Structure 1
């Protein structure tokens, strides 16, 4: 398959996926982010890479973000939010961290593909990215891409859409955001 044909198919998959994410679920996530003192992120593999991108972008908006495991990670409290990225909702490490966050009375938001996963018992907010899973759930968007690529791509773009929504909702001056950008580079 040519590059252009692959590109068009991937973009179409992403557009279909993002178009099937619930605005109500995203609004609940945005509200949770805005209420939190600090927003923590946990995921594994390529999902973690997408979450790190989201954490960085939200930090540019003046939101205090933490990726679990950072050497300077502070304690999580009842005033904080943990965002878990896990398509299956069954990944062991995120499940353990979500359970631990709940023990400190933090809010937990799960962004995933399976609304009936084990993560459900820890989640206060759930945003479904309805991509193809091994479970073949209703409403899944099929993908020609390997493994969970569509989930990871959609997760990153969901984060960027949330950031843009926050910018518009809070009338944030785009040029003023540069004060939060890394400057030791």
Structure 2
């Protein structure tokens, strides 16, 4: 396989996947983000990397974001939102954190691929990215890419889509966003 064939396969998968995310669930997630005092993120591995990028972008838009475990993480409260990224919805650490967030009456949004998972018990909002998970369930959409790459890529682009929706909704002047960009680089 050459570069052209590989990138075409990947971009077609991403286009197909993003096109099959239910827009109502994205609207629900956006509403939760907007009403939260603080937005926390939890995931593991490459999913966590995508979530960190989403947290950074939303922070550029003036939203108070925190990644669970960061040194400056404040307490979560009933006024806050925890966004869990877990394709399978079965990863142990995000499940434990979601359970703790509910103990403090925080809202929980799960972005994942598997609607029938353990995370369902703790989720107020679910956004399904319809791709295959590490569980390899019969109803999952297969990918030409290794492991769960398609989920992680789609998660990142979903975050950028949410940011663009906020920018347009709030009529934010994009050049003004640079004032929130890191300047100690």
Q: TM-score, normalised by structure 1?
A: 0.98
- 1:20 maps to 20
Moved over 6 A (4+): none
Aligned to 2:138: 136
Q: Does the Cα contact within 8 Å between 1:110 and 1:119 map onto a contact in 2?
A: yes
- Determine the structure 1 residue equivalent to 2:173: 173
Q: Distance in 2 between matches of 1:118 and 1:176?
A: 41
Aligned to 2:93: 93
Cα deviation, 1:133-180, whole Å, max 9, x if unaligned, reads 31122xx43211000000000000000001000000010110111111
Q: CA deviation at 1:132?
A: 1.7
Whether the 8 Å contact between 1:16 and 1:141 is mirrored in structure 2 is no
CA drift of 1:22 comes to 0.3
Per mean C-alpha deviation after superposition, the further-off stretch among 170-179 and 40-49 is 170-179
Question: Is residue 5 of structure 1 aligned with residue 17 of structure 2?
Answer: no
Question: Whole-Å Cα distance in 1 between the matches of residues 157 and 107 of structure 2?
Answer: 23
Is the contact made by 1:13 and 1:141 (CA closer than 8 Å) also made in structure 2? no
Q: Give the CA RMSD over aligned residues.
A: 0.6
What residue in structure 2 maps to residue 105 of structure 1?
A: 105
Structure 1 unaligned regions, length at least 5? none
TM-score (structure 2 length as normaliser): 0.98
CA distance in 2, matches of 1:180, 1:62: 8
List alignment gaps of at least 5 residues for structure 2: none
| DSSP-derived class of the 2:183 partner | coil
